[in-house]
Structure 1
Protein backbone atom coordinates (compact mmCIF):
# COMPACT_ATOMS: atom_id res chain seq x y z
CA UNK A 1 0.00 0.00 0.00
CA UNK A 2 2.74 2.45 0.88
CA UNK A 3 4.72 1.60 -2.24
CA UNK A 4 1.64 2.15 -4.39
CA UNK A 5 1.11 5.53 -2.74
CA UNK A 6 4.75 6.44 -3.38
CA UNK A 7 4.44 5.51 -7.06
CA UNK A 8 1.30 7.63 -7.50
CA UNK A 9 2.90 10.67 -5.88
CA UNK A 10 3.41 13.34 -8.59
CA UNK A 11 6.86 14.12 -7.17
CA UNK A 12 8.06 10.56 -7.78
CA UNK A 13 8.47 11.03 -11.55
CA UNK A 14 9.95 13.87 -13.56
CA UNK A 15 8.71 15.22 -16.88
CA UNK A 16 10.47 12.46 -18.81
CA UNK A 17 8.80 9.78 -16.69
CA UNK A 18 11.97 8.78 -14.87
CA UNK A 19 11.92 8.09 -11.14
CA UNK A 20 13.16 10.94 -8.98
CA UNK A 21 15.10 11.08 -5.73
CA UNK A 22 11.83 11.53 -3.88
CA UNK A 23 10.67 8.07 -4.95
CA UNK A 24 14.07 6.56 -4.17
CA UNK A 25 13.98 8.08 -0.70
CA UNK A 26 10.48 6.78 -0.01
CA UNK A 27 11.45 3.34 -1.31
CA UNK A 28 14.54 3.20 0.90
CA UNK A 29 12.55 4.30 3.95
CA UNK A 30 9.93 1.63 3.31
CA UNK A 31 12.59 -1.04 2.82
CA UNK A 32 14.35 -0.04 6.04
CA UNK A 33 11.08 -0.13 7.99
CA UNK A 34 10.28 -3.59 6.64
CA UNK A 35 13.72 -4.93 7.57
CA UNK A 36 13.48 -3.47 11.07
CA UNK A 37 9.96 -4.89 11.47
CA UNK A 38 11.11 -8.36 10.48
CA UNK A 39 14.09 -8.11 12.85
CA UNK A 40 11.82 -7.11 15.76
CA UNK A 41 9.46 -9.98 14.96
CA UNK A 42 12.32 -12.48 14.88
CA UNK A 43 13.68 -11.19 18.20
CA UNK A 44 10.20 -11.40 19.72
CA UNK A 45 9.64 -14.98 18.53
CA UNK A 46 13.07 -16.03 19.77
CA UNK A 47 12.27 -14.43 23.13
CA UNK A 48 9.03 -16.37 23.40
CA UNK A 49 10.60 -19.68 22.39
CA UNK A 50 13.84 -19.44 24.37
Structure 2
Protein backbone atom coordinates (compact mmCIF):
# COMPACT_ATOMS: atom_id res chain seq x y z
CA UNK A 1 0.00 0.00 0.00
CA UNK A 2 1.43 3.35 -1.04
CA UNK A 3 1.84 6.09 1.53
CA UNK A 4 -0.33 9.16 1.10
CA UNK A 5 1.44 12.46 0.65
CA UNK A 6 1.21 14.50 3.82
CA UNK A 7 2.38 17.82 2.41
CA UNK A 8 -0.33 20.47 2.37
CA UNK A 9 -0.79 22.44 -0.84
CA UNK A 10 0.55 25.97 -0.83
CA UNK A 11 -2.08 28.56 0.16
CA UNK A 12 -3.54 30.55 -2.71
CA UNK A 13 -2.58 34.20 -2.90
CA UNK A 14 -5.37 36.64 -2.09
CA UNK A 15 -7.11 37.95 -5.22
CA UNK A 16 -6.36 41.49 -6.30
CA UNK A 17 -8.76 44.25 -5.30
CA UNK A 18 -10.23 44.57 -8.80
CA UNK A 19 -10.83 40.81 -9.00
CA UNK A 20 -12.58 40.90 -5.62
CA UNK A 21 -14.75 43.79 -6.79
CA UNK A 22 -15.74 41.93 -9.98
CA UNK A 23 -16.50 38.79 -7.98
CA UNK A 24 -18.62 40.77 -5.54
CA UNK A 25 -20.53 42.35 -8.42
CA UNK A 26 -21.11 38.94 -9.98
CA UNK A 27 -22.31 37.52 -6.66
CA UNK A 28 -24.76 40.40 -6.25
CA UNK A 29 -26.05 39.86 -9.80
CA UNK A 30 -26.58 36.14 -9.13
CA UNK A 31 -28.35 36.91 -5.83
CA UNK A 32 -30.66 39.43 -7.53
CA UNK A 33 -31.40 36.95 -10.31
CA UNK A 34 -32.23 34.25 -7.78
CA UNK A 35 -34.44 36.64 -5.83
CA UNK A 36 -36.28 37.63 -9.03
CA UNK A 37 -36.81 33.93 -9.84
CA UNK A 38 -38.25 33.24 -6.38
CA UNK A 39 -40.58 36.25 -6.60
CA UNK A 40 -41.74 35.18 -10.08
CA UNK A 41 -42.51 31.63 -8.90
CA UNK A 42 -44.33 33.04 -5.85
CA UNK A 43 -46.48 35.38 -7.96
CA UNK A 44 -47.32 32.62 -10.47
CA UNK A 45 -48.29 30.30 -7.61
CA UNK A 46 -50.56 32.91 -5.98
CA UNK A 47 -52.25 33.67 -9.31
CA UNK A 48 -52.86 29.98 -10.01
CA UNK A 49 -54.21 29.37 -6.49
CA UNK A 50 -56.69 32.22 -6.87
CA UNK A 51 -57.93 30.71 -10.12
CA UNK A 52 -56.87 33.64 -12.30
Alignment size in residue pairs:
34
After TM superposition, the runs of 4+ consecutive aligned structure 1 residues lying more than 3 A away are: none
Higher relative contact order (CA 8 A, sep 6+): 1
TM-score for the superposition, normalised by structure 1: 0.63
Structure 2: gaps of 5 or more residues = 1-12, 47-52
Greater helix fraction, Structure 1 or Structure 2: 1
TM-score for the superposition, normalised by structure 2: 0.60
Q: CA RMSD in A?
A: 1.1
Counterpart of 1:35 (choices 31, 35, 39) is 31
Query: Residue 40 of structure 2 aligns with which residue?
Result: 44
Query: Which protein is bigger by CA-based radius of gyration?
Result: 2
Aligned counterparts of 1:34 and 1:18: Cα–Cα separation in 2: 22
